[in-house]
Amino acid sequence: MRLVLVGPPGAGKGTQAEVIAAELGVPKISTGDIFRANVSGGTPLGLEAKRYMDDGDLVPDEVTNKMVADRLTEDDAQKGFLLDGYPRNTDQAKVLDRLLEEQGHHLDLALELVVDDDEIVRRLSGRRVSKTTGKVYHLEFDPPEDPESADLYQRSDDRPETIKNRLKVYADQTAPIMGYYEAQGRLVRVDAVGEVETVTGRAMSALRGHGAE
Ligand code: ADP
Ligand code: AMP
């Protein structure tokens, strides 16, 4: 299956993508993770991306689309994938459709995680990440063993001023892609409030209802 996971920052896309991709036997491809790996590695792509990520803005489409196109040529993505964090505007959605069409494929579904703004702010402000494993925790909802551990860090774009801009960017640029997918009958909406396992259950039954195995 070829899927994209969409929803506001902090909706739980990364958390759910991990489990859903494993259940479906496809790779999880997160543009945010790829950018962050490049930022940590100090690559030219990372240096370019960091300027936008620090402010909560989108990295320019030319850079992002090329990175995704390259990633989708890798062997593990030939039989399907779950994209997390891409597309983030209608142009990216159209570029992805064109790219898949050129390869004789098509996107099966867009899975939207629906969460309100208050919950998003709660989730983003409590998010902490392990430096060594990359595992994502939440101080309240999925607490790490030692919340004071030096291994944990807060993403620089999870600070209040940046969260505000990311929500604006989401509303202005990303939310319109739901209309794009809905018009094509490819949008599946899932209530993403509740325990992680409950949300996964809802997502899997929605996907199975649309032909996922
Ligand atoms: P996204 O990838 O959409 O930005 P994440 O998967 O990183 O979101 O989740 C954001 C934060 O919310 C993380 O700290 C995560 O542990 C927490 N989280 C994810 N799903 C849930 C849930 N169902 N209930 C409560 N907290 C959650
Ligand atoms: P995420 O981990 O999905 O929250 O992404 C973190 C940041 O990476 C975003 O705020 C953007 O700056 C950048 N980013 C991730 N995916 C995209 C995308 N599809 N288009 C543009 N920028 C992106």
Rounded to an integer, what distance in angstroms lies between the CA atom of residue 67 and that of residue 126?
A: 29
Q: Which ligand approaches the C-alpha of residue 17 most closely?
A: 1
Helix (H, G, I), strand (E, B) or coil at 63: helix
Catalytic residue status for 36? no
Contact 2, 207 (CB under 8 A): no
- Is 122 annotated as catalytic? no
98 is a catalytic site residue: no
Please choose from 58, 71, 72, 167 the residue to mutate so as to test ligand 2's pocket, defined by most ligand atoms within 8 A of CB. Answer: 58
Q: For residue 5, give the nearest of 19, 17, 21, 18 by alpha carbon.
A: 17
Query: How are strands ordered across the β-sheet holding 187-191?
Result: 28-30, 81-84, 2-6, 109-114, 187-191
- pTM assigned to the model: 0.96
Q: Whose CA is nearest to atom 25 of ligand 1?
A: 141
Which pLDDT belongs to residue 146?
94
Q: What fold is seen in the domain 2-208? A: Rossmann fold (3.40.50)
pLDDT at 213: 80
Q: List the residue whose alpha carbon is closest to atom 18 of ligand 1.
A: 12
What residues contact 132, with CB distance under 8 A and at least 6 apart? 151
Query: What is the Cα–Cα distance from 196 to 201, expressed in whole angstroms?
Result: 9
Closest CA to 49 of 85, 5, 83: 85
Which segments in the chain show pLDDT lower than 70?
A: none
51: amino acid identity, one letter: R
Among 32, 3, 9, CA closest to 174: 9
Ligand 1 mean position, distance from CA 105 (Å): 31
Q: How far is CA 139 from CA 119, 146, 152, 160, in A?
A: 14, 10, 11, 16
What six digits make up the tokens of 27? 């790779």
Residue 166 annotated as catalytic: yes
Nearest CA to ligand 1 atom 9: 12
Are the CB atoms for 107 and 101 separated by under 8 Å?
no
Protein residue with least CA distance to atom 5, ligand 2 = 32
CB 93 within 8 A of CB 181: yes
- Closest ligand relative to 7 C-alpha: 1
Q: Counting every residue, how long is the chain? A: 213
155 as an active site residue: the answer is yes
Choice among 28, 123, 128, 166 that is catalytic: 166
